[in-house]
Structure 1
Amino acid sequence: MNPKDRQEWMGLLARTAPARLAELLPNLPVHHSARTPEIGTVMVRGRAGGTGTAFNLGEMTVTRCTLRLPSGTVGHAYVQGRDKAHATRAAVVDALMQDDPQGTQATILAPLRTEAEARAAARRAKAAATKVEFFTLVRGED
Structure 2
Amino acid sequence: MTELTPPQTDRKTWMSLLAKAPAADLARLWEAHGAAPGFTWLRAPEVGAVMVRGRAGATGAPFNLGEMSVTRCSLRLEDGAVGHAYVQGRDKDKARIAALVDALMQGAGAAALRSAVLEPLERGLADVAQARAAKAAATKVEFFTMVRGENA
Give the TM-score normalised by structure 2.
0.89
Runs of 4+ in 1 over 6 A off after TM superposition: none
1:136 equivalent among 112, 120, 145: 145
Structure 2 letter corresponding to 1:70: E
- 1:21 — aligned with what? 26
Q: Structure 2 stretches of 5 or more lacking a match? A: 1-5
For structure 1, the residue ranges without an aligned partner over 5 or more in a row are none
Secondary structure at 2:42 match in 1: strand
2:60 paired with 1:52: yes
Structure 1 residues 30-69: Cα deviation after superposition (integer angstroms, max 9, x where no partner): 1110000010000101111122221111000000010000
What is the alpha-carbon root mean square deviation over aligned residues? 1.2
TM-score by length of 1: 0.95
Q: Which residue pairs with 1:4 in the alignment? A: 9
Counting matched residue pairs gives 142
**Counterpart of 1:12 in structure 2: which amino acid?**
L
Identity among equivalent positions (%) equals 58
- What is the DSSP-based 3-state SS (H/G/I as helix, E as strand, rest coil) of the residue aligned with 2:38? coil
Q: Deviations over 1:85-107 (max 9, x none)?
A: 11000000000111132111011
Whole-Å Cα distance in 2 between the matches of residues 129 and 8 of structure 1? Answer: 31
The answer to whether structure 1 residue 109 and structure 2 residue 114 are counterparts is no
